[in-house]
Amino acid sequence: MKINSTVLLAGALIAAGVVALVVRSQLSAPVAKQAAKAPVEKTAVLVAARDLSPGDFIDPSALRWEETTESVSRSFYFVSGKDQENKLFGATLRERIPAGTRLSSNMLVRPNEPGFVAAVLHPGMRAISIPTSAVASNSGLVSAGDRVDVILSLRRDEQTQSAPSAAAPVVVPMLAAQTVARNLRVLAMNSQTDTDVRPRQDVDGDATGKNAPARPRNPVYQTVTVEATPQQAEVLAVAKEVGLLQLALRSPLESDDDADAGPSAVTRLADSTAIYGSNVKVKTFRADEAKVQQFQAR
């Protein structure tokens, strides 16, 4: 009898242990499943690295990638791995954007898109186009974003001059030049508002670049659009009707302290060369009296 009770008690203990193990496994199963759940996927989206204003150009310092767990639509925003930030370099903004704001396609205006020139203009400034040529534009070396001075020069072939005579055997041409505007920002050459991106020339050839393809020639521009104050715009509008406007390229390291200096002194022919002499002698006759007068060459 005692043996049966002992066996029965042992069986009950074994059954209770099995039940406890089953219950414990059932209770710990959801925790294991929860621990095995896949991690949340993160997406890197392009945001402003600093405060940006209309007229500012997008460069590497203006952008950064920021991770988020939210769903991001690529129809409006720029996603890492699918979009390249260097594709936005040179673009500008339609509105003021604080740092950390996600950049959308509606906020940006890229070069050569409608409204780009108006977007890059600083408040109070104007955009004016002036005629130019291969020589006047430094043989195509001037590009959008450069700073230039505008020089007005009188054209000799458009002036009416008197023929040489015995009293004035040498006719001095009326030539002069003057800097009429300083430190103007170039916005566009013709309708091109961006700068050509040229790949390396030695990639397809050897290390010396001897077998590299020839670099294309710089295009010839007929017009250049510059950013100017309203007063400078009026000066340029009159100056382009008087003579030839030349572009003098400025160093990017040069200060802009002389931007509002106004037109410079006029440089005349006598200031450039002494070929015609510093003075012109003219012999005049009055009755029987002859007199020689000297005039400064212009």
Contact status, residue 51 vs residue 97, Cβ threshold 8 Å: yes
Does 10 score more than 90 pLDDT? no
pTM comes to: 0.59
Residues 131-164 have pLDDT tens digits of: 877 555 666 678 888 899 999 988 665 555 555 5
pLDDT score for 23: 65
Residues 199-245 have pLDDT tens digits of: 555 555 554 555 555 555 556 678 889 999 999 999 999 998 888 88
pLDDT score for 162: 58
pLDDT score for 229: 92
Residues 57-101 have pLDDT tens digits of: 888 888 999 888 888 888 888 888 888 888 888 888 888 889 999
pLDDT score for 238: 92
Picking from 133, 108, 14, the residue whose alpha carbon sits closest to that of residue 55 is: 108
Degrees, nearest 5: CA angle 155-157-163: 120
pLDDT score for 5: 66
Output the CA torsion 75→64→111→71 (10° steps).
Answer: 0
Contact status, residue 109 vs residue 92, Cβ threshold 8 Å: yes
Ramachandran class of 100: left when φ > 0, alpha when ψ lies in -120 to 50, beta otherwise: left
Residues 241-264 have pLDDT tens digits of: 888 888 888 888 877 666 666 677
Dist. CA 221–CA 23, nearest whole Å? 85
Residues 169-182 have pLDDT tens digits of: 555 667 788 899 99
E strands, the chain, in order: 43-48, 63-68, 92-93, 108-109, 126-131, 147-153, 176-189, 223-228, 244-249, 267-268, 279-286, 289-296
Q: The domain 42-120 is classified under which CATH number: 3.30.70.20, 2.40.30.20, 3.90.1210.10, 3.40.50.2000?
A: 3.90.1210.10
Q: Tell me the DSSP string of 41-94.
A: P-EEEEEESS-B-TTPPP-GGGEEEEEESS---TTTB-BBTTB-GGGGTT-EES
Q: What ranges do the domains of the chain cover?
A: 42-120, 123-156+174-193+219-273
Contact status, residue 111 vs residue 82, Cβ threshold 8 Å: no
| Model confidence band, residue 278 (pLDDT cutoffs 50, 70, 90) | low
265 burial via Cβ count (<10 Å: 0-12, 13-18, 19+): exposed
Dist. CA 206–CA 199, nearest whole Å? 15
Q: What is the mean pLDDT of the chain?
A: 75
